[in-house]
Amino acid sequence: MPILAPVADKMGIDLVWFGVILALNLQTSFLTPPFGFALFYLRSVAAKVDYKDRVTGATIRAVTTTQIYKGSIAFIILQLCMVAAVVAFPTLVTGGIEKVETIDADKALETMGLPDPEPEPVADEPAGDVPQEAASAPDAAASEPALADDDPMKALEESMRKDAEKNVKK
């Protein structure tokens, strides 16, 4: 994989699809003689000599290596069909994968402390008998919850500040 993946990437091959093809080929190789490891594992647990079953009393015949090889043919054909299907229709593997826009963590951290790019609209004329400077300058206590409601980061910072104050009081 470390040798083949960079080559496949340079050739423009989708690495997810390439990984699935490699896995299918490996899985097929575990079933094919002469180096079919799955066949050797099966050989190690299959009966080598006839024996009598303790529960039913029936005689269980021994399994030969040839029988194991013949029995694996159907599974090898299924594996080869799957490899052919994935090669012929790559969307079987990559169809549900969506390209996700990545976020640069450094840029996100740089903009975290900046004020909101869109300022809140200010009323042209104050209502009633409120002085002009009071109408144009919002109250600090009143604007803080509005910012926290609009900006999740501000709400998080405010929540962390309140938790820190509670911990200091304890």
Residues 11-68: tens digit of each pLDDT: 988 888 999 999 999 888 888 877 788 888 888 888 889 999 889 989 989 999 889 8
The whole-angstrom separation of Cα 123 and Cα 119 is 12
**For residue 167, which phi and psi values (nearest 5 degrees)?**
-65, -35
User: What pLDDT score was predicted for residue 42?
Assistant: 86
Match 């054909």 to its residue by tokens: 77
Average pLDDT for residues 128-143, to the nearest whole number?
49
pTM over 0.75: no
pLDDT beyond 60 at 80: yes
User: What pLDDT score was predicted for residue 85?
Assistant: 95
Residues 92-111: tens digit of each pLDDT: 888 877 777 777 777 777 76
